[in-house]
Structure 1
Amino acid sequence: MTVRQAGERRAIAAALGTFLALSLSVPAAAAGATAEAPTTTAVPSGNITVQVVANNGSGCAPGTASVYADANKTGFRIRYTDFLAEAGGSAAVTDRRKNCQMSVLVTVPAGWTFAIASVNYRGRARLNSGSSGLHRTTYYWQGSSRSDSTEQEFTGPFNGFWSSHDVAPVLVYSECGSERILNVNTELRVDAGTSTSRSSLSLRAAEGDVDTLFNIDWEQC
């Protein structure tokens, strides 16, 4: 190796060392801080108000269904006290299918609009071997031609809580400054099949952690 070549190698090594030192001295937050920062969804400072303005059906006689806004303002829940379908045993034929048609008035703070982003359904099933059950819910904003629905089938034997999660394919925001009525149609069905014992499917809050949760996506006007 010549003296000139050795000098060039020493110069390259020194430059590389300086580059590494500078790279290590850069604060971690300086690189990609925006991408790594946690994101939060803004919510209005005012309260969201929800109210049942109408309900009818074999699964929700007047006074047996209610709606509650979550304290964190991310959604609202529907709870039923007498929504039970059953078949087999001594159950009446009319008990095999129960339904509820409910209208919920939703009022939000001024300067905000919202859309239903997803829905969580939770219920209770007691299905004997040979029996089956069905849960179906459809919801839509009054005056809108668009509706979203979910359907879940159950096969016995099954004894326990069930849940499902439905994500809205499109976020439909309400007009700013307007109240909106959400129509929710829910159906429970039980088929005894080959079972001679009573089977049931329930949305009754008395069963435990049972309700329907509508999750909201907020947007400022």
Structure 2
Amino acid sequence: MAHGVSSTVIMAALLLLIAAATPALAQPPSVSINWVTFGGTGCSWSNSNYVYSSDSKTITFIFGGMVATTDGVLADKRKACQISMSVNYPDGWSYTLGQVTGRGFADVAAGSKGVYETQFYFSGQTGTPSVSRTLTGKYVDSFEFTDYFTTSVWSQCNNTPNLNIKSVVRVEGSKAVMALDSSDTKFQLVYYFNWKQC
């Protein structure tokens, strides 16, 4: 009995030592954004912005015009934004977007729904990972959801291809509004970078 307890304690101690010795997720020593462009029915330079974190782990896009509603013409039911950016990082590294967090507001009546979708790809490479989130009515509240991309596509090693992101917000049914356009609450998408040495 005492021998079994000792073995358990030793095994737990070894696991703790291994965990302590495991390095944190790798990332390059310096990363910067050379430029970002975006445009579409849901974003413009006058109502949208982005913030890149100092630790090179996230980039947040804030959209003031990404509001889809059933109250209006057909074009109001779907809003989209196309983003392209040049990420500068050292040779010997590769990156991908691992997950995205969507934050906003929805007012969706029973029998209706609101959807936001986002996908990305690297210029000159194949593969377009995507995520989609659907809110069905009745739903009236702020929301925040984190989703993992369905597939993994990494930038080519020793190359810095442009990162392209397309985001869409749309509504269906008799009454629905997806996101909120105001001075204090705007639709946000937070993208999380994963890095690896190659």
TM-score when normalising by structure 2: 0.78
Deviation larger for 102-111 or 144-153: 102-111
Unaligned runs of 5+ in 1: 1-18
Percent of counterpart pairs with the same letter?
25
Unaligned runs of 5+ in 2: none
Residue 85 in 1 paired to residue 68 in 2? Answer: yes
Q: Which residue of 2 is the match for residue 76 of structure 1?
A: 59
After superposition, give the CA deviation of every residue in 1:149-178 in whole Å (9 maximum; x if it has no partner): 122222222121223333235443323443
Bigger-Rg structure (1/2):
1
Amino acid at match of 2:178: L
Taking the aligned partners of 1:136 and 1:203, their CA distance within structure 2 comes to 16
Taking the aligned partners of 1:112 and 1:103, their CA distance within structure 2 comes to 20
Q: How does 1:47-86 map to 2 (within 5 A)?
A: 47-49=31-33, 51-53=35-37, 55-86=38-69
CA apart distance, 1:125: 0.7
After superposition, give the CA deviation of every residue in 1:158-209 in whole Å (9 maximum; x if it has no partner): 121223333235443323443221222222112342x5xxx31126584537
After superposition, give the CA deviation of every residue in 1:128-156 in whole Å (9 maximum; x if it has no partner): 34432121222211222211112222222
Q: Are 1:122 and 1:203, in contact at CA under 8 Å, matched by a contact in 2?
A: no
Q: Which residue of 1 is the match for residue 100 of structure 2?
A: 119
Which of 27, 35, 38 lines up with 1:43 in the alignment? 27
Amino acid at match of 1:42: A
User: Alpha carbons of 1:110 and 1:156: their partners in 2 closer, same or farther (altered >3 Å)?
Assistant: same
Taking the aligned partners of 1:104 and 1:204, their CA distance within structure 2 comes to 24
User: Alpha carbons of 1:36 and 1:187: their partners in 2 closer, same or farther (altered >3 Å)?
Assistant: closer
CA apart distance, 1:44: 2.6
Q: Are 2:64 and 2:187, in contact at CA under 8 Å, matched by a contact in 1?
A: no
Deviation larger for 137-146 or 33-42: 33-42
TM-score when normalising by structure 1: 0.71
Q: Which has the higher helix share?
A: 1
Q: Are 2:131 and 2:150, in contact at CA under 8 Å, matched by a contact in 1?
A: no
Taking the aligned partners of 2:127 and 2:44, their CA distance within structure 1 comes to 27
Q: Which residue of 2 is the match for residue 158 of structure 1?
A: 139
Q: Which residue of 2 is the match for residue 31 of structure 1?
A: 14
User: Alpha carbons of 1:99 and 1:124: their partners in 2 closer, same or farther (altered >3 Å)?
Assistant: same
Residue 128 in 1 paired to residue 109 in 2? Answer: yes
- Structural RMSD (CA): 3.1
Q: Secondary structure at the match of 1:180?
A: coil
Amino acid at match of 1:49: I
User: How many residue pairs end up in the alignment?
Assistant: 194
Q: Secondary structure at the match of 2:29?
A: coil
Q: Secondary structure at the match of 1:172?
A: coil
After superposition, give the CA deviation of every residue in 1:20-46 in whole Å (9 maximum; x if it has no partner): 7xx69x989863454332641133332
Taking the aligned partners of 2:62 and 2:182, their CA distance within structure 1 comes to 6
Which of 200, 205, 214 lines up with 2:177 in the alignment? 200
CA apart distance, 1:111: 4.1
